[in-house]
Structure 1
Amino acid sequence: MPDMGRFSPEIPHEELKQRRSACQDRMDPGSVLMIYTAPRRIMSNDVHYRFRQDSDFYYLTGLPVEEGVLVLGPEKACVYVKPGTPEKETWEGPQPNLDETAEMSGIQDVRDLEGLNKDLESWINGISALYYGYGSDAGRDAEILGLSQKLLIRGRAGTSGPERVVHPARILHELRLVKSSWEIQRMQETAEITARAHREIIAAAKPGMGEFELEAILHNVFRKSDAIEAYPSIVAGGGRACILHYIKNDETLQKGDLVLMDAAAARGYIHSDVTRTFPVDEKFTEPQKELYSIVLRSQQKAIASSVAGATMDSVHDDAVSVLVDGLIELGLIKESKDECLEKKSFRRFYMHRTGHWIGYDVHDVGSYYIQGKPRPFEPGMVCTVEPGLYIPGDDDIPEAYRNTGIRIEDDIVITEGAPLNLTSGVPVEIEQIEELKC
């Protein structure tokens, strides 16, 4: 096959080197870490979904290869891959060979995957700990753990298995939680693609359009920027916005509807996550403005609270406090604020948390609690801030507010000072949104 120049590094070598080094520093002396590529998944019969690499494998190697294993020791790194064959390349295009894999990953010791079984015993014989992601592949678990047991039992032959098996999430997911400046820049670029899509959709939405037509605009903007959906998009008109994970997107928008759109881009495995709520018509109605303003004030307070030393729980509490004040003011909550917070009766209108980590996964990895206590934010962490209100159509609700769902979501970087909003390019103020509609 001709050289099509498609095997340049996707992540700078220095970035990958720093990640692997940080991982090695946290490993036990004399231990080994093994990370496997993601499996190919069947969509229907013999048709596969597009391949999506395992986030941990990609984080440490930058390799999109479909079959491979990273082996990392305290002072060494080796990656096994399955080189392309002429037949496979005829069907699927060029595949990186061993030298090209080394160039992409910055790992010099690259071996054919066929040799892994032969090498496996030498990798884990006598090590103190094996960092291995058990639980995702029963057959592989049986092979790895069976070999470990065999080495332990054959002690008279001078072998010994790992003293313990540890899931690599224990160290690797903690590393992924704090982003480098390179990662944050990539997240900013992805956020800007998302912002373009949201602006186009807000401007285009009109009564009589299908939710799927707005989703099509989204896909068009993403693909023109070499990006894809970060997750199945929510484009929910009217009362469907009260369905938190509505993804059918197959209804027609009606005059007077609000549209809740939870949709964002991903590129190079870097994700964004944004929600906006806007009118199908040119203007918000007055009741819609009242509810929207409550959610916006809640989000503004929560973003301002997203600083080093705060926690997900404290940010959530700040968001809830503003929402409850607004609901009481509108008469949707009849009891006192203290009573509402104690009973959590606000959950009738706001039933989810206010944020989550984001990065190489949309709901990214990393602990939210340490020894049972909320984890303090540190500079470099990135999270969403996404309060909302979901007003049901119950008889005790004033008719003007019934079946109204509103959520506003942005991606926030924790810094040494004020929080950085990566997705501020998406209009959020009522006047900004209405100006786009004109």
Structure 2
Amino acid sequence: MEHLPVEVFIKRRRALMDSLPDKALLLVPSATLVTRSRDTEHPFRQDSDFWYLTGFNEPDALLVLMKGYEKSEQLLFNQPKDKLMETWTGIRLGQVAAVIQLGFDQAFALADIDQQLPKLLAEASEVWMPLEDEALYSRYLFWRQQVRTRFKRVASLPTRITDLSQQLGEMRLLKQPEEIILMKQAARISAEAHCRAMQVCKPSMYEYQLQAEIEYEFRMQGASGPSYSSIVGAGDNACVLHYVENSAVMQAGDLVLIDAGAEYQGYAGDITRTFPVNGTFSTPQQQLYNLVLKANELAISLTRPAATLDELHQAVVRCLVTGLVELGLLQGDVESLIETEAYKVFFMHGTSHWLGLDVHDVGLYRQEGKARPLQAGMVFTIEPGLYIAPDQADVDPQWRGIGIRIEDDVLVTATGCEVLTSGVPKTIAGIEALMKGDDYARH
């Protein structure tokens, strides 16, 4: 598994610094270990912003960037080498190796942070940090007080503190070529796992057994695991958008909806496929499925630079409402049904979200009150769905308890788009063929 070279992270740090005013001091904290129960922790997952700028995968660290300082400009505070602790929890990079391997000007032990940060603040004109991090903000206030105490005759405290999240979010939104390579790999692994699920699925399996097959494939293909909690919902459970219990027995005649993606070197895959537990769609299932597929393919066909996610969503809504009227699930004029949002009883979520280091990635959706135009390098999902609740009394019983979502990951290119998740079938013919053992159906 090839990791991104250190030069990529150095370049990102320099680009971020170039976008800031002179004498700006920027602080980005790492993630920390989170207790699962008593003396055990959840598996460590690095903060996405910190990872984007450092490529450093240890907890309890702080990135400090200084624009226009006379001395060092890229600093890291991290845990020191400690043979006893390393025996228990693994090798630490330490300070010397951090400079060599991560490209920092200097690295300090975490214990030095309260000594060093007031010195840096005393020279800063303004500070940039993620303001939602209450722990960091509390430390910042302490460091400001230390400046007053230690440097009151020579220092002028920063006059402005600015939230870093938007600046860094906009930078992360446009994926660079090296990121696109990793995202394609995350999508490929995710697609292989969904194919595996289709091939092994059979009636009387538990949902969690199908989840195990998917996540096994993630790890066998080199992913760190799932990029979010896998959803495996069969029958009525497919109508619960964020169903994660995955504990029911799957019955012949039901559909199973799987929303699962692999995380590869920090980047998320995000795929949803819906298929019949017994390998064959019923007629009502076919009708609803083909309607959702039509909306999915329509949105993909409209994806290109200068289009907007709002336009894609409006096209999806119109497609679904028209089809629901034709099937008798909605009654009335299509325009009126759209205007009154009558469709939301069956399609209650958006069509898209940004995708990257986070499965719901950063970056503004609107600029100056308007939907932002798409640009080459953006990656997002297209995921129309229909969910007919099992207790939906005003619809024909043949539709009740059917939940369908079809989700793909899409990269905007200079001339249109590329579907990164095409490695797993989504047509009825392709799904049924793969479930019957035709491996070529995925291509």
| Cα RMSD for the two superposed structures | 1.7
The answer on 1:83 being equivalent to 2:76 is no
Quick one: structure 1 residues 169 and 251, their matched pair in 2 at CA, closer, same or farther if it must change by over 3 Å? same
Match 1:429 to one of 427, 430, 434: 427
- Work out the CA distance in 2 between the residues paired with 1:156 and 1:383: 49
Displacement, 1:125?
1.2
The answer on 1:72 being equivalent to 2:65 is yes
Displacement, 1:121?
1.2
- Work out the CA distance in 2 between the residues paired with 1:262 and 1:125: 50
**Structure 2 equivalent of residue 412 of structure 1:** 410
The aligned amino acid for 1:111 is F
Match 1:35 to one of 28, 33, 58: 28
**Structure 2 equivalent of residue 264 of structure 1:** 261
Displacement, 1:93?
2.2
**Structure 1 equivalent of residue 299 of structure 2:** 302
The aligned amino acid for 1:216 is A
Match 1:339 to one of 336, 340, 347: 336
DSSP 3-state at the match of 2:111: helix
- What is the number of residues matched between the two proteins? 430
DSSP 3-state at the match of 1:157: coil
- Work out the CA distance in 2 between the residues paired with 1:354 and 1:170: 23
**Structure 1 equivalent of residue 397 of structure 2:** 399
Displacement, 1:74?
2.0
User: Cα deviation per residue 1:146-172 (whole Å; 9 max; x = unaligned)?
Assistant: 433664799961211111011111311
User: Cα deviation per residue 1:100-129 (whole Å; 9 max; x = unaligned)?
Assistant: 223432223222222221111121113221
Displacement, 1:397?
1.1
- Work out the CA distance in 1 between the residues paired with 2:291 and 2:173: 31
- Work out the CA distance in 1 between the residues paired with 2:77 and 2:176: 27
- Work out the CA distance in 2 between the residues paired with 1:240 and 1:204: 20
The aligned amino acid for 2:141 is L
**Structure 1 equivalent of residue 202 of structure 2:** 206
- Work out the CA distance in 2 between the residues paired with 1:233 and 1:97: 35
- Work out the CA distance in 2 between the residues paired with 1:384 and 1:117: 43
- Work out the CA distance in 2 between the residues paired with 1:247 and 1:162: 46
User: Cα deviation per residue 1:271-307 (whole Å; 9 max; x = unaligned)?
Assistant: 1100000001121111111000000000011112221
- Work out the CA distance in 1 between the residues paired with 2:222 and 2:81: 25
- Work out the CA distance in 2 between the residues paired with 1:258 and 1:434: 12
Q: Structure 2 length as normaliser, TM-score?
A: 0.94
The answer on 1:358 being equivalent to 2:355 is yes
DSSP 3-state at the match of 2:4: coil
Match 2:132 to one of 132, 135, 138: 135
Displacement, 1:404?
0.4
The aligned amino acid for 1:93 is G
8 Å CA contact retained: 1:10, 1:62: no
**Structure 2 equivalent of residue 317 of structure 1:** 314
Match 2:170 to one of 143, 167, 174: 174
8 Å CA contact retained: 1:32, 1:71: yes
The aligned amino acid for 1:397 is V
Point out the more displaced range, 390-399 or 229-238. Answer: 390-399
Structure 2, unaligned runs of 5 or more: 437-443
- Work out the CA distance in 2 between the residues paired with 1:396 and 1:246: 24
Quick one: structure 1 residues 86 and 411, their matched pair in 2 at CA, closer, same or farther if it must change by over 3 Å? same
- Work out the CA distance in 2 between the residues paired with 1:217 and 1:142: 44
Identity between Structure 1 and Structure 2 (%): 37
The aligned amino acid for 2:399 is Y
- Work out the CA distance in 2 between the residues paired with 1:214 and 1:10: 30
Point out the more displaced range, 47-56 or 150-159. Answer: 150-159
- Work out the CA distance in 1 between the residues paired with 2:263 and 2:124: 38
The answer on 1:192 being equivalent to 2:160 is no
**Structure 2 equivalent of residue 93 of structure 1:** 90
The answer on 1:25 being equivalent to 2:18 is yes
8 Å CA contact retained: 2:131, 2:164: no
Point out the more displaced range, 346-355 or 162-171. Answer: 162-171
The aligned amino acid for 2:413 is T
Quick one: structure 1 residues 102 and 156, their matched pair in 2 at CA, closer, same or farther if it must change by over 3 Å? closer
The aligned amino acid for 2:26 is L
Structure 1, unaligned runs of 5 or more: 1-7
**Structure 1 equivalent of residue 8 of structure 2:** 15
DSSP 3-state at the match of 1:158: coil
User: Cα deviation per residue 1:231-264 (whole Å; 9 max; x = unaligned)?
Assistant: 1100000011000000000000011000000011
The aligned amino acid for 1:188 is K
Question: Any residues of structure 2 matched to 1:279-294 within 5 Å, and which?
Answer: 279-294=276-291
The answer on 1:104 being equivalent to 2:101 is yes
- Work out the CA distance in 1 between the residues paired with 2:331 and 2:148: 66
- Work out the CA distance in 2 between the residues paired with 1:102 and 1:194: 35
8 Å CA contact retained: 1:62, 1:104: no
8 Å CA contact retained: 2:122, 2:151: no
**Structure 2 equivalent of residue 51 of structure 1:** 44
- Work out the CA distance in 2 between the residues paired with 1:104 and 1:290: 56
